[in-house]
Amino acid sequence: MFNPNDPKLRSFISVDPASDFPIQNLPYGVFSANGLAPRLGIAIGDYVLDLWELAQEGRLDVCEPAVFAATSLNAFMALGPSVWTRTRVRISELLRHDHPELRDNDELRKLALLPMKDVKLHLPFTVAGYTDFYSSKEHATNVGVMFRGKENALQPNWLHMPIGYNGRASTVVVSGTKVRRPRGQLKPPNVDAPSFGPCKRLDFELEMGVVIGQPSAMGEMISESRAEEMIFGFVLLNDWSARDIQQWEYVPLGPFQAKAFATSISPWVVTREALEPFRLQGPEQDPVPLPYLRQARPNNYDLTLEIGLRAGAMNEAQSIARTNFKYMYWSSVQQLMHHASSGCAMNAGDLLGSGTISGPEKTQRGSLLEISWNGTEPLELPGGIKRSFLEDGDSLVMRGWCQGDGYRVGFGEVEGTIVAAG
């Protein structure tokens, strides 16, 4: 079996070196085109490869063709890691520049390769459950300093386990979906009683989403190797946040309505296998985690992340921050191990948010709360525009990629525009 991550591989489809979707990536998504129902596809360059068409023609005999006609990735993910690997290897083979099977079949190419600009992309999987973590030490420290001071920036439990809360799967939406400004109870510090109305301090959170492809049984703890096998892939994730609603509601049980109104994810799921060449060791963990959370392998990734904001009358998004997934203190594998450690059953289709990803520098902060330091240092944009928090009409774009030798494994983008509460 050849290595589909080989940097020397080339596709017969022309792919720009700056494209997110070279032959070394092959991310999965759900698309529709030509009036047909949504089905599974792979991104390659500026095209979508229709997996159902390939399966119908007997070119993708790794599972029943009906799996690729589904409107979500869930049935495919349920087939397990060995099928995931065989499928990726076979698709890589079909797309290679020196493999004639698809390259020289004009009729099949016309059916199976569709320009990405002509298709509609959908939510790639049915979200079974959604959990959001709080695993960037830099982010947690920044927020702690703002609200509790330097001496008490991190809560006593933070260095001992990945902190998280259960979010709402029902409001996870695909990139491009407009986000309505939430309403909620508001109580600024200078008033005696709360009121109800539109959020005034709307924010984004730059995160990665982990897509769980295999279940675990209720009552079962999972090992590091088992947790890794359960991870199908990753998406970009923007966990929109109503900071003023959260400030009033979070004591004593944490976020609730402030995070329940919308979470945006990218339409392409980049597989764990495609990210393998970019693995690296995360930050040193001190104190050493309890035995059930210890890692024998490097489980972080060298993955660049960038945030663009188009505000007011701006014609295009302006980059406002760039950071890296490698800074995460608690890895995705540790998050999953901890999540199941109580006996919590995990399901195929579960989504785990990494938590806001910030780096050590001011230019690497992953939320407006940090960038504007809770509104005291407004972000300055071209044309004299300033932002402490998001306003109606603002559009937020997040991008992410791992840079290889002459190619990049990217995620496309996750975009959302804020509309008025109404």
What are the catalytic residues? 139
Residue 397 is inside which H or E element, if any? strand 395-403
Whether a cis peptide bond, with omega within 30° of 0, leads into 287 is yes
Q: Any idea of the CA torsion for 180, 182, 183, 185, to the nearest 10 degrees?
A: -170
Q: Are 60 and 68 in contact (CB under 8 A)?
A: yes
Q: Are 278 and 208 in contact (CB under 8 A)?
A: no
Q: Are 275 and 146 in contact (CB under 8 A)?
A: no
Question: Does residue 384 sit in helix, strand or coil?
Answer: helix
The residue among 317, 275, 266 whose CA lies nearest residue 123 is 266
CA distance 44 to 21: 5
CB atoms within 10 A of CB 278: 18
The CA–CA distances, whole Å, from 88 to 10, 28, 49, 239 equal 15, 10, 12, 30
Phi, psi of 346 (to 5 degrees): -100, 145
Work out the burial of residue 305: count CB atoms within 10 Å of its CB; fewer than 13 is exposed, 13-18 middle, 19 or more buried: buried
Q: Are 269 and 74 in contact (CB under 8 A)?
A: no
Q: What is the CA radius of gyration of the chain?
A: 22
